[in-house]
Amino acid sequence: MPTKLRNPREEPTTKGWRVDPIPSRPAYKDDDGNVRIPIWLTKNGRHTVDTEMVLLPSEAELLSERLTAAIGASR
């Protein structure tokens, strides 16, 4: 059975949706007090759209706490 030879330097393509922060655009608060986080949405490794995740301040605080805990747990 033939198989496709893979280039070992080639990045594997993630199947499904992926959300990544846009490194060049910082999170900010809008006029209503919501926290907006610029993000890239990709599907199956292909860029779909630039958008923003909009969070209430309490949701942003919870996200921050959970990310901090996850980073601390991995050290």
Count of the separate structural domains present in the chain = 1
Domain hosting 35: range is: 17-73
In a domain, 40, yes or no: yes
In a domain, 44, yes or no: yes
In a domain, 4, yes or no: no
pLDDT in tens, 38-72: 999 999 999 999 999 999 999 999 999 999 999 99
Distance CA 39, CA 48 (A): 11
In a domain, 11, yes or no: no
Tokens describing residue 24: 């060049």
Question: Which secondary structure element, helix H or strand E, spans residue 57, and what is its range?
Answer: helix 57-73
pTM of the model: 0.73
In a domain, 5, yes or no: no
Point out which residues pair with 35 in neighbouring strands.
29, 55
List the Cα angle 37/41/45 in 5-degree steps. Answer: 145
Tell me: pLDDT of 29 over 90: yes
Q: Which of 12, 13, 18, 11 is nearest to 43 (CA)?
A: 18
**E strands, the chain, in order:** 17-21, 28-29, 35-43, 46-55
